[in-house]
Amino acid sequence: MSHLIVKEQKTIIRNAFFTFLYFTLAIGLAIGILYTDIFYLQNMIEEESLVEYTQSLSLTILTLMFSRHAYRSPQWRGGFVLITGFFLCMLIRESDAIFDNLIRHGSWAYFAITTALVCIIYAFTHRQSTIDGLAQFAKQKEFHSFIIGLLTVLLASRLIGYGGLWRFILYNDYPHVVKNIIEETTELFGYLIMLFSCLSLTRHFK
């Protein structure tokens, strides 16, 4: 067996190990943060909780990360602006309580829609860098774990936190706090997968 083949196999094994490691870390962090909220801070995962703050922090890091890449990579800027806008819209949605208190209920939607329109218009008017940036993002191997994290946030957490499911299992008097804890912790797990995937992925953009 040639030296190059052995080296390639070692690289594959090392990459597989690191993938296992950051999935394990994401699970450990999500559960650890949940336990800290419940046992030490003694709150039931309401709007002001360590789980919610960590979700917002993850989105803030992702937004800043890709806005930096958009600034530093003009050849991929359109795609990275679109990705930045996506994370920023998610962050605005996660911060809905802040907008509710400062302005009025539901006002977060106006900021999210404005952000989305600005980013979409920029991406449309810079189509080549948008296509190149999105392709550069999607071709990395970490993109697959990022998609798993995204679907965990957008789909799995919503389905597992569906009120009808809990009413069917525990009847109409089910404890809302249990549903909320499971939904928010699943969502946090998804955010952490996205964050760790993008932290690993962005080394290709330097």
Backbone angles phi, psi at 144, to 5 degrees: -65, -40
Measured CA distances, 100 to 30, 56, 70, 94, 103 (Å) = 27, 16, 30, 12, 6
The residue among 84, 75, 90, 154 whose CA lies nearest residue 120 is 84
* pLDDT tens per residue across span 30-81: 999 999 988 888 887 777 789 999 999 999 999 999 999 999 989 999 999 9
Quick count: other Cβ atoms within 10 Å of Cβ 97? 14
Q: Collapse the DSSP code of 17 into the 3-class scheme (helix H, G, I; strand E, B; otherwise coil) and give the result.
A: helix
Looking at residue 75, the DSSP 8-state letter turns out to be G
Quick count: other Cβ atoms within 10 Å of Cβ 206? 7
- What global pTM score does this model have? 0.88
Weakest mean pLDDT among 19-28, 148-157, 160-169, 172-181 = 172-181
* pLDDT tens per residue across span 84-99: 999 999 999 988 888 8
